[in-house]
């Protein structure tokens, strides 16, 4: 059983989430490859897929959306999961409409996605003018909201589902 963890990440924090998911799957006895969506040649050698993207302005990255479209037929015939990475700032002010890439989730649900989860993201001032402005307005403790225990637990659920 080999799982592909494919991701789209502009500034690296979603890539690190994908790596953590792949590592957790391996810890649970599965083989797992982790790659940027653009580096994936095909799904032929995989039994299951985890696809994730950073969310910008309420949308997945274009290359992740393209991946979902391009491989729709194959994904519909295999177990697959998706995750989004995005929210930073005070969790009390989280706004589902800002976090959830609605149309992408709807498309994935049509294809039979087993689960969709939104993980906290990371905003870093080095990631451009907009990011710097956002980071400056975000208390330091909420600039990186990635919860590694939550991420590993989600991956372990996938491994259990796949019999790992």
Q: Which residues are near ligand FMN by CB under 6 A?
A: 9-14, 54-58, 85-88, 98-99, 121-123, 130-131, 134
Least CB distance from residue 75 to ligand FMN, whole Å? 21
| CB 5, min distance to ligand FMN, A | 14
Residue closer to ligand FMN, measured from CB, 73 or 92: 92
Any residues with CB less than 8 A from the CB of 30 and at least 6 apart, and which?
1, 2, 3, 159, 162, 164
Q: How far is the CB of 119 from ligand FMN (least distance, A)?
A: 8
Looking at beta carbons only, is 25 or 54 nearer to ligand FMN?
54
Between 87 and 164, name the residue whose CB sits nearer to ligand FMN: 87
**Minimal distance in Å, beta carbon 125 to ligand FMN?**
10
Quote the tokens at residue 111: 């294809």
Residues 6+ apart with CB under 8 A from 6: 18, 34, 35, 36, 37, 40, 49, 50, 51, 52, 64, 67
Measured from the CB atom, is 85 or 104 closer to ligand FMN? 85
Find the DSSP H helices in the chain: 13-27, 62-70, 72-76, 96-99, 102-110, 129-136, 148-161
């Amino acid at each position: 059983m080999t799982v592909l963890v494919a991701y789209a990440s502009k500034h690296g924090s979603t890539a690190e989430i994908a790596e953590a998911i792949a590592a957790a799957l391996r810890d649970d006895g599965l083989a797992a490859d982790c790659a940027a969506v653009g580096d994936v040649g095909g799904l032929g050698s995989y039994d299951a897929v985890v696809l994730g993207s950073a969310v910008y302005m309420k949308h997945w990255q274009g290359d992740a959306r393209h991946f979902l479209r391009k491989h729709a037929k194959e994904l519909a015939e295999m177990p697959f999961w998706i995750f989004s990475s995005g929210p930073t700032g005070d969790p009390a002010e989280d706004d589902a409409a800002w976090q959830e890439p609605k149309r992408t989730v709807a498309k994935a649900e049509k294809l039979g996605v087993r689960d969709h989860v939104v993980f906290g993201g990371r905003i870093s001032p080095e990631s451009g003018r907009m990011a710097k402005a956002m980071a400056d307005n975000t208390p330091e403790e909420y600039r990186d909201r990635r919860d590694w225990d939550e991420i590993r637990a989600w991956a372990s659920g996938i491994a259990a589902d796949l019999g790992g």
